Amino acid sequence: MRTLCADLGGTRLKLAAVENGVVLENEVSPIETNSGMENVLSNLAERCRAMMERHPGEWRGLGIAFPGILDEATRHVIHCSGKYAGADRIDLPEWARAALGLEMKLVNDARAAIIGEINYGSAAGETDAVMLILGTGIGTAAVCQGRVYRGKHGMAGLLGGHFSIAYDNGRRCICGGTGCLEAYAGTWALKELAEDPDYDFARLERDYLAGDAKARRLFDIQTKALGAGAVSLVHAFDAETVIFSGGGSRFSALIEAAERYVLDHAWTPWGKLKFITAAHPEDSVVLGLHSLFVHHVC
Ligand SMILES: [Zn+2]
């Protein structure tokens, strides 16, 4: 069973061919998210056709992940935070049928990541878990009693990055809120806090391990922000497991410090929390998209 899996991100399109949970090919290309949906979709269709030609055989469908709020049941985009303007006016299932002859399924990217990790990745078999994805912002998703949490408006579980962790003199967030987790952790906040547009998790790790004072201060902020956000997610969704993913999760000292914070602060009278870091964070979204056509946890 083979599927095409397209992760339409903030700056990159990741397209993968996945067969029975194995990534056959993973292609990453830059994407102009505001070049108009017609251009985005014609670029996507062209890449899909080329990938299908490189792997001849039967294709079950096309899964698409967007960084936004979606109606996953009717397969329509509702809101994409200023990116992919006009996506809400396009009948994507009809487009996929006409352009590629494939059934299309749609899911939020953070939700795809937790589905992928549970069905095929490092969190195999987990039934009650929350995920924090450390990237430009902090993406989150939740699975409760073996079911992905979606909510009435498709937003449940996704807004952990906008849990307020500092109401008093909190930093202004891009969502309009104050003191959000994302306004302290994640790359966009890290650059602002470091007052350096080139600062990122790799730089933080290098400088921190070298004993740099600024990096130690930023590390402390990141640890507490991620820890406080994860505690709120655990409390909100009755999670037994916290999964870290995204590029920032490769900084193991940061993740371990955040885990210690969570263990010190979370109220879990049922027992001890478990922590998992995705082994291959670059594959979790595409494997989640593949799961939509195969698995029970989705
Ligand atoms: Zn926010």
**Paired sense of beta strands 12-19 and 22-30, if any:** antiparallel
- Tens of pLDDT, residue by residue over 124-171, are 999 999 999 999 999 999 999 999 999 999 999 999 999 999 988 999
Tokens linked to 95? 């487009």
> What's the gap in Å between 114 CA and the centre of ligand 1?
21
Q: Total structural domains in the chain?
A: 2
134 shares its domain with 266: yes
Measured between alpha carbons, how far is 2 from 20 in angstroms, rounded to an integer? 6
- For residue 79, name the pLDDT band (cuts at 50, 70, 90): confident
> What's the gap in Å between 238 CA and the centre of ligand 1?
22
pLDDT of residue 16: 98
Q: Which domain holds residue 205?
A: 122-279
Mean residue pLDDT of the chain comes to 95
> What's the gap in Å between 44 CA and the centre of ligand 1?
30
Nearest alpha-carbon partner for 45 in 2, 77, 8 = 8
Instruction: Work out the average pLDDT over 83-99.
Output: 95
Q: Compute φ and ψ for 124, nearest 5 degrees.
A: -50, 130
Measured between alpha carbons, how far is 11 from 192 in angstroms, rounded to an integer? 20
11 shares its domain with 100: yes
167 shares its domain with 256: yes
Return the SS3 of 85.
Answer: coil
96 shares its domain with 206: no
> What's the gap in Å between 104 CA and the centre of ligand 1?
31
271 shares its domain with 185: yes
Q: Where are the beta strands (DSSP E) in the chain?
A: 2-8, 12-19, 22-30, 61-66, 69-71, 76-79, 103-108, 129-134, 138-144, 147-148, 241-245, 274-277
- For residue 33, name the pLDDT band (cuts at 50, 70, 90): confident
> What's the gap in Å between 233 CA and the centre of ligand 1?
15
> What's the gap in Å between 29 CA and the centre of ligand 1?
28
> What's the gap in Å between 3 CA and the centre of ligand 1?
34
Measured between alpha carbons, how far is 40 from 81 in angstroms, rounded to an integer? 16
Measured between alpha carbons, how far is 210 from 94 in angstroms, rounded to an integer? 54
pLDDT of residue 223: 97
> What's the gap in Å between 160 CA and the centre of ligand 1?
9
> What's the gap in Å between 82 CA and the centre of ligand 1?
15
> What's the gap in Å between 171 CA and the centre of ligand 1?
9
144 shares its domain with 272: yes
160 shares its domain with 236: yes
Give the side-chain half-sphere CA count within 13 A for 49: 12
Which CATH number goes with the domain that contains 60? 3.30.420.40
267 shares its domain with 175: yes
